[in-house]
Amino acid sequence: MNTYVEVIEPKIQYKDEKTNEINVKRKVAAYARVSTDETDQLNSYQVQIKEFTERIKNNPEWEFAGMFSDEGITGTNMKKRIGMQKMLDAARNGDIDMIITKSISRLARNTVDMLTVIKEMREIKVEIYFEKENISSADPKIDFILTIMSSIAQEESRNISENTKWGFRKRFAQGQLMMTTTHFLGYDKDDEGQLIINQEQAITVKYIFNQYLNGMGISKLARHLTEKGYKNGRGVVTWYSDTVKEILRNEKYAGDLMLQKTVTVDYLSHKTIANDGHATKYYIKDNHDAIIDRETFDIVQTMIHARDIILANDNKERFKHLAQKPIKGLVYCSRCKRMYRSKMHNSGTTFKKSMLKCHTDRNNPHNCDNPSIHEPLVERATLHLIKELTKTEEMQQSLFAFMEKSLQQINSHEPLKKLKEKSIDLANELKKHVRSKIRSGMSDEEYDRIYSEIEGELEQCEIDIVNLRNEINRELLTRRRLYALTNFIESNYEDKRIIKSFFGMILVDGKNHLKYILDDTFSIIDDLHEKIDIINKCKPFIKGKYYDETTNNTVTYEVIKYEGH
């Protein structure tokens, strides 16, 4: 007897994860992506969206679950693709049973990302179908094929990245500017892509440089611009310290152009970092009209560089520079050489007052007998003395002439840049010489002679860098005194910021007895601190007294001119 066996194929049913009911129709979504905003790709992008949407809606067994897309987004990094992330979230919530996409490269060019997505979707029973390759993620054997094909897509992406970089380098080498000026303060572009000055915005740029030259710090300048209602490159009245510093350091305002300031080191993550020796830079001098003259720009670079050097070290100059009070970090004990620090006496009472006290006395009273002194009294006595020293026009002109002459003798940041480049070249030359010994037939004597010559040049170059940095520090301190003195005179002798710029150091030498050090070497306070013994032996060129009506105290003072010997 022949047995008849009827084969009954399973009828696929789809369960709604939210309602727990069986759906006859399958919830299908589609995904499309193009990586650039070029016209051809955008046309393809629109065609993909239209074709997928119509096909899903016209299929009686499918329910349209959405069209997800990313326009002008790279396929090597999923984190930036908002459309894809929304689609995956919808799949996790049970709103999608199947995803259709044009090809593997449209979903991801990163192999790891591709396999991670497929594994997660498979676990929640969501199928992904790739049309071009005609494969589905539902088959577990497909992992091997997907690994190969997505690796090919990843390698293709790497080749595209390298070709793009090559194109950029060629254009940079030809001096072609590749940037947008939409949010760039001070400049627009003409029809040929060249930078032209935006006269209205240039006023803000000049104002920023002038205020910094006049002694206003970067953080204070950012707050000042916001308070005064100046608009930044985006047309917004909100300023940050980093924005101000970028403007002050941008060579474009001096008419120059630095190309390839940043590089993309990883074609998958697209992470951009500062080009600090990773690739060739291209510097074009006098490329376009300048908003800031070169001399002013160089001065500002020197001031920023010197400030960075000062703040990079945990020293006395840094403490003085960052302190808010006019004399904090400036007053020292002439006997034990320790800093005088603020201490509030009778705190919490109506008799409270701020006193300056020797740090040694505070910790070990038996080691120093130099008395404390009223802090506001020192401030008022100091302002009185500076006014006395600068009150006549003859004295003012003499001080200005001396400082301006000093500035003409000081190098700026440009020679330092050249020395640093020379140091790098010599270090590379030394490494090259060491490697060459293996391949060359050079004798030991010849090798040692050349090595010693290069090493000697490198050591001298490092010494020159240190010396020039010290000169740059002095340049900043000189400029700080020059501009502070100008502001002090213009403020009718009331601007307390003059104190830290005018005197290199103040020494306490007994009860209400102060020694003011007029430092003609323009050294940082750390260097002056080491010379306190020498300074104490110097004869004062001015002696006097100041009577304070507020406290009925008298301050005896001496002014010592320190010239470094």
Match 């998958």 to its residue by tokens: 268
CA-CA distance, 242 to 246, in Å (whole number)? 6
Closest C-alpha to 474, from 385, 564, 340, 539: 564
Q: What is the DSSP string of 341-391?
A: EEEEETTTSTT-EEEEEEHHHHH-GGG--PPPEEHHHHHHHHHHHHHHHH-
> Percent of the chain scored above 90 by pLDDT?
12
Instruction: Indicate the pLDDT class of residue 102, thresholds 50, 70 and 90.
Output: confident
pLDDT of residue 390 exceeding 50, the answer is yes
Match 């600068």 to its residue by tokens: 390
pLDDT at position 75, please? 43
CA-CA distance, 26 to 400, in Å (whole number)? 85
Cβ–Cβ under 8 Å, residues 406 and 478: yes
pTM, entire model? 0.48
The neighbouring-strand residues paired with 332 are 339, 507
Instruction: Indicate the pLDDT class of residue 387, thresholds 50, 70 and 90.
Output: confident
CA-CA distance, 184 to 198, in Å (whole number)? 10
**CATH code, 14-138:** 3.40.50.1390
Contacts of 186 (CB under 8 A, 6+ apart): 197, 198, 201, 202, 204, 205, 252, 253, 291
CA-CA distance, 231 to 210, in Å (whole number)? 17
Contacts of 312 (CB under 8 A, 6+ apart): none
pLDDT at position 111, please? 65
- Residue 529 or residue 543, greater confidence: 543
CA-CA distance, 359 to 345, in Å (whole number)? 15
- Residue 118 or residue 557, greater confidence: 557
Instruction: Indicate the pLDDT class of residue 40, thresholds 50, 70 and 90.
Output: very low
Domain boundaries defined on the chain:
14-138, 187-255+290-314, 331-562
Beta-strand (E) ranges in 95-145?
98-101, 127-130, 135-136
Match 């960052």 to its residue by tokens: 322
- Residue 151 or residue 483, greater confidence: 483
Q: Which helix (H) or strand (E) holds 59?
A: none
Tokens read off for 528: 């002056």
pLDDT at position 268, please? 45
Q: What is the 3-state secondary structure (H, E, C) of 309-340?
A: HHHHCCCHHHHHHHCCCCCCCCEEECCCCCEE
pLDDT of residue 472 exceeding 80, the answer is no
Contacts of 488 (CB under 8 A, 6+ apart): 386, 390, 494, 495, 497, 498, 502
- 289 to 195, 202, 213, 286, 452: CA distances (angstroms): 8, 12, 21, 7, 47
Q: For 331-350, what is the mean pLDDT?
A: 83
Instruction: For the chain, report the end-to-end CA distance as a whole number of angstroms.
Output: 126
Task: State pLDDT tens for residues 128-159.
Answer: 898 887 888 877 666 676 666 656 655 665 66
Encoded amino acid at 281, one letter? K
CA-CA distance, 504 to 485, in Å (whole number)? 14
Cβ–Cβ under 8 Å, residues 487 and 496: no
The bridge status of strand 353-358 relative to strand 340-345 is antiparallel
- Please provide residue 153's backbone torsions phi and psi, each rounded to the nearest 5 degrees: -65, -40
Min mean pLDDT across 131-140, 170-179, 419-428 is at 170-179
CA-CA distance, 382 to 498, in Å (whole number)? 10
pLDDT at position 485, please? 72
Cβ–Cβ under 8 Å, residues 299 and 412: yes
Task: State pLDDT tens for residues 208-256.
Answer: 998 887 667 788 899 999 999 999 888 888 999 899 999 998 888 888 8
CA-CA distance, 539 to 562, in Å (whole number)? 10
Contacts of 323 (CB under 8 A, 6+ apart): 329
SS3 content of the chain, % helix, strand, coil (to 5): 50, 15, 35
The neighbouring-strand residues paired with 128 are 99
Closest C-alpha to 31, from 81, 78, 68: 68
